[in-house]
Amino acid sequence: MSTIEDDETGRPGGRTWRVGELASQSKVSVRTLHHYDELGLLSPSKRTLAGHRLYTTADVSRLHRILALRGFGLTLADVGRVLNGEVDDLADLVQRQLQQAEQQVRAASALRDRLSAVLRGLSAAQNPGPDLLLEVMEAMSELNRKLTPEEFDELQESRKRWSDSLSPEQAEAARQARTEAMSALSDTERARMTAARASALPEGWTSD
Amino acid sequence: MSTIEDDETGRPGGRTWRVGELASQSKVSVRTLHHYDELGLLSPSKRTLAGHRLYTTADVSRLHRILALRGFGLTLADVGRVLNGEVDDLADLVQRQLQQAEQQVRAASALRDRLSAVLRGLSAAQNPGPDLLLEVMEAMSELNRKLTPEEFDELQESRKRWSDSLSPEQAEAARQARTEAMSALSDTERARMTAARASALPEGWTSD
DNA sequence: TTGCTCCTCACGTCACGTGAGGTGGC
DNA sequence: TTGCTCCTCACGTCACGTGAGGTGGC
């Protein structure tokens, strides 16, 4: 404030930043800035004689715009296109990003539900051996494909062969874990089918 | 069923599958099976004289176990460790997967909310030019960092410079879009902070 | 002269996709 | 002989992380 020729010069518009400075202030890595330079997404307007990057205020603004768009889930390629004005229908792009995010929410939620069902099954068993848990996880996945009658028979049979090798306590725990898992799976499946029906509507179709 | 020496031989346990067969039946690509072979995750027990892969029933079972575990979000490295019995605390692994899935749900939900706020802002503007949308998205991101007073002033000023170049209709649309966006952002921010507080608890700490 | 920052390669990540060029079995 | 399937390289993807080996400015 009082110094005028300390680190930055007083010339308006002449303030520049070195990579390290810009990186720490923007909470990105130096490597990220190098990467954006390589991609041509953000090339510093100046260089020192030694070849060190110097970012101007305009460059900094562009970086902020890049980080903003990146924060909305755009790929760097899309970020570049948007900033270059190569995208005419931005609303359409945002719409697609939204659908993608919704899909991610559905997928992650379904995964979360299945995992917590496994954990509930685990806690139901007093001594959850690794084989038990594996069995439950496999059974849950098995149900995700529709089984042909023969496959179902074989699954039953292999389950039987397997459970014959267990102590009564282990067998009971396995049964209980499986029941837990199956019911949770059904919930997930029901939700999935509902979602599938909704997304099967033609594009642009609305309920009114 | 009636033919006994048609494509598969009758010898029990002798049934084998070629990559293409196994791939289509298991809904994975041939390349995926090649990949698992390269990783040593699933190497066919047999080969023909010409070097073609032949998968036995045991191999097929292992593939199903692999796909099951993969479906629970494990990396292939973790899948391998589990199948090799190198993981002693499976419950802990599942627990970490669950936390990761929950994190994904939170991140995707927050992204979805911000994107739909942008779209609501968009529809509020009768003529949403690309600059308008960009402005809104940037403003939303800007708020995600805490601004120093000077930065806030500069943001206001740049906003002013920008809005001076707009028609009254555009300016009004921008104002409305921004209001929408800000309120949605606040919701998100509140949720984020709540989550942050929760995750700031030391490991193993529970509320009872 | 010692640190700290900067530079340019260049390989690694993760789970495969996608040719390229060639061989085997019905 | 024509298709179809199979084989083994080997590069590409996406957004950087992580050294390696060397130079510049206070």
Reported as a single tens digit per residue, the pLDDT across A72-114 is 999 999 999 999 989 888 888 999 999 999 999 999 999 999 9
Q: Any atom of strand D under 7 A from CB of B169?
A: no
**Cβ < 7 Å from strand C, B residues 20-59:** 28-29, 31-32, 35, 48-50
User: Quick one: average pLDDT of B157-178?
Assistant: 58
C-alpha dihedral sign at B145, B150, B156, B157: negative
pLDDT of residue B10: 43
Bridge partners, B55 (sequence order): B17
For chain A, how many residues are written? 208
Least confident of A165-174, B124-133, B198-207: B198-207
Assigned token pair, A140: 């849950």
**CB proximity B93 to A under 8 Å:** no
Assigned token pair, A61: 């603004």
Bridge partners, A17 (sequence order): A55
Are B46 and B37 within 8 A, CB to CB? no
| Chain A residues whose beta carbon lies within 8 Å of the beta carbon of residue B87 | 130
Are A51 and A40 within 8 A, CB to CB? no
Mind giving me the DSSP string for A7-58?
SS--STT---EEHHHHHHHHT--HHHHHHHHHHTSS--SEE-TT--EEE-HH
User: Quick one: average pLDDT of A29-35?
Assistant: 97
**CB proximity A138 to B under 8 Å:** yes
Rg of the Cα atoms in chain B: 28
Tokens 């809904």 belong to residue: B27
The one-letter code for the residue type at B92 is D
Is residue B53 helix, strand or coil?
strand
Assigned token pair, B95: 């627990």
User: Quick one: average pLDDT of B177-194?
Assistant: 50
- DSSP H or E stretch at residue B55: strand B53-55
User: Quick one: average pLDDT of B188-192?
Assistant: 46
pLDDT of residue B1: 35
Residue nearest D14 (alpha carbon to C1'): A75
Say yes or no for a CB contact (<8 Å) between B122 and A87: no
Is the pLDDT at B167 greater than 90, yes or no?
A: no
Q: List bases, strand C, within 7 Å of protein CB.
A: 5-8, 14-18, 23-25
Q: How confident is the model at residue A119 (pLDDT cuts 50, 70, 90)?
A: confident
pLDDT of residue B196: 43
Q: List bases, strand D, within 7 Å of protein CB.
A: 5-8, 14-18, 23-25
Q: How confident is the model at residue B137 (pLDDT cuts 50, 70, 90)?
A: confident
Could you tell me which residues come within 8 angstroms of residue A206 by beta carbon, excluding any fewer than 6 positions away? none
The one-letter code for the residue type at A159 is R
Bridge partners, B46 (sequence order): B54
Q: How confident is the model at residue B169 (pLDDT cuts 50, 70, 90)?
A: low
Q: Any atom of strand C under 7 A from CB of A76?
A: no
pLDDT of residue A10: 43
Alpha carbon dihedral B109, B175, B156, B192, in 10-degree steps, equals -20
Nearest C-alpha neighbor of A141 from the set B187, B176, B180, B66: B66
Buried b / exposed e along B37-71 (16+ C-beta atoms within 10 A): eeeebbebeeeeeeeebebbeebbebbebbbbbbe
pLDDT of residue B195: 45
Q: How confident is the model at residue B177 (pLDDT cuts 50, 70, 90)?
A: low
Reported as a single tens digit per residue, the pLDDT across A183-195 is 544 444 444 444 4
The Cα of A89 is separated from the nearest Cα of chain B by a number of Å equal to 8
Eight-class DSSP state of B147:
P
Nucleotide nearest to A39 (CA to C1'): D15
pLDDT of residue B69: 93
Q: How confident is the model at residue B159 (pLDDT cuts 50, 70, 90)?
A: low
Half-sphere exposure of residue B111: CA atoms within 13 angstroms, side-chain side: 25
Question: For strand A53-55 and strand A46-47, is the pairing parallel, antiparallel, or unpaired?
Answer: antiparallel
More confident site: A127 or B131: B131
**CB proximity A28 to B under 8 Å:** no
Q: What are phi and psi of A47, to 5 degrees?
A: -140, 150
User: Quick one: average pLDDT of B161-184?
Assistant: 58
**CB proximity B109 to A under 8 Å:** yes
Say what angle helices B57-71 and A130-144 make with each other, to 10 degrees: 90
Could you tell me which residues come within 8 angstroms of residue B74 by beta carbon, excluding any fewer than 6 positions away? B82, B93, B97
Q: What is the mean pLDDT of chain B?
A: 73
Are B33 and B22 within 8 A, CB to CB? yes
Is the pLDDT at A201 greater than 90, yes or no?
A: no
- DSSP H or E stretch at residue B18: strand B17-18
CA distances to A56, B55, B57 from B17, in Å: 63, 5, 8
Half-sphere exposure of residue A124: CA atoms within 13 angstroms, side-chain side: 20
pLDDT of residue B73: 94
Are A54 and A16 within 8 A, CB to CB? yes
